[in-house]
Amino acid sequence: METNKSVNIFSSAFLAVEYVDSLLPENPLQEPFKNAWIYMLDNYTKFQIATWGSLIVHEALYFLFCLPGFLFQFIPYMKKYKIQKDKPETWENQWKCFKVLLFNHFCIQLPLICGTYYFTEHFNIPYDWERMPRWYMLLARCFGCAVIEDTWHYFLHRLLHHKKIYKYIHKIHHEFQAPFGMEAEYAHPLETLILGTGFFIGIVLLCDHVVLLWAWVTIRLLETIDVHSGYDIPLNPLNFIPFYAGSRHHDFHHMNFIGNYASTFTWWDRLFGTDSQFIAYTERMKKVEKND
C-alpha cells in the first residue's frame, strides 16, 4: 500500500514537471545544441565520442572552472573574499600542482576514460538525439550521482585520514593547507582511483544516455573546484542548493585536517558529528567579527 502511494506521488510529480516544462518557452539554445550533437554523431565514431570527447570535456571544463579562482589572486578587490587571507597562492605551488595534474589526468584518468566506450556498448547506452533525456530527468540523475558519490567520498575519505594510512596516500592532497581551485584533483594516484570510484558508481547505476556522463562530470568538476577555490563568493548559485557544503566547509578541512569529510553535502558530517570543530570555529569567528 505504502509502495503504491510512493509511486503515485513520484508519478504525479513527474507529470507536474512535464506540464510546467511544456508551458515554458522553447530554449533558444536547444536547436544549436541539437545541430552540434547530430553533427558530432555524423562525423565521429562512438569510440571517439566516448573516449576523446570525454577527455576534451574533462580537460576543457576543469581548467575553465579553475580560471576565475586563478584570476582572483591578481584582483585586489577579491582578496576580501579569500578565506585564509594569510596564505596567498604562490607560483611555485601552482606550477607543482599543474605538473601533478597533467600526470593524473593523462596517466591515471585517461586509461579509465578509455573504458567508457566499452561500458556504453556493454550496457547499450544510447548516443542518439531522439533518446536524449529531458533536462529535468538529466538533472535528477545527476543529483542521484551526487548523493552516491558524496556517500562514498565521506566514508573512504574519512578512512584515508586514519593515522595508519594518511601519510602514505592522502597526505599529498593536504600539502596545500590553503586550497585553490586547481588543487581539486591534486592527489596521490591511489587516491585518484579510490575516491574517483565514487564518481563511476552513479554512472553504472543511473546512466541512460551518454550525455549523462558529460552532464555529471560538469556538475562534479564545478562542485569540487568550487569547494577547493579558497574563496567564499557572495551569491554563489551553488550555495542555494540545500545541504551544500561549500568552500568554507571544505577549506576548514584543509586548515584543520580533521572533520568535514564529505565532498558535496553536509548531512554525513552532521550525522556523525565530524563537523563539530567546524561549527565551534564558525561560532567563534562570528563572535570575533561582532566584537570588531
> What is the residue-level pLDDT of the chain in tens, covering all 292 positions?
444 544 454 455 444 445 444 444 556 778 899 999 999 999 999 999 999 999 999 999 999 999 999 999 999 999 999 999 999 999 999 999 999 999 999 999 999 999 999 999 999 999 999 999 999 999 999 999 999 999 999 999 999 999 999 999 999 999 999 999 999 999 999 999 999 999 999 999 999 999 999 999 999 999 999 999 999 999 899 999 999 999 999 999 999 999 999 999 999 999 999 999 999 999 998 887 777 6
* 248 occurs within a structural domain: yes
Query: In terms of DSSP H, where are the helices of 207-261?
Result: 210-227, 246-256
* 202 occurs within a structural domain: yes
Task: Specify the pTM.
Answer: 0.89
Phi then psi dihedrals of residue 208, to 5 deg: -125, 5
* 7 occurs within a structural domain: no
Could you tell me which residues come within 8 angstroms of residue 53 by beta carbon, excluding any fewer than 6 positions away? 40, 44, 214
* 38 occurs within a structural domain: no
| Domain span including residue 93 | 55-291
**181-220: b (≥16 Cβ within 10 Å) or e:** bbbbbbbbeebbebbbebbbebbeebbebbbbbbbbbebb
* 229 occurs within a structural domain: yes
- Count how many domains the chain has: 1
Determine the Cα–Cα distance for residues 16 and 136; give it in Å rounded to an integer.
Answer: 11
* 35 occurs within a structural domain: no
* 146 occurs within a structural domain: yes
Phi then psi dihedrals of residue 244, to 5 deg: -70, 130
* 271 occurs within a structural domain: yes
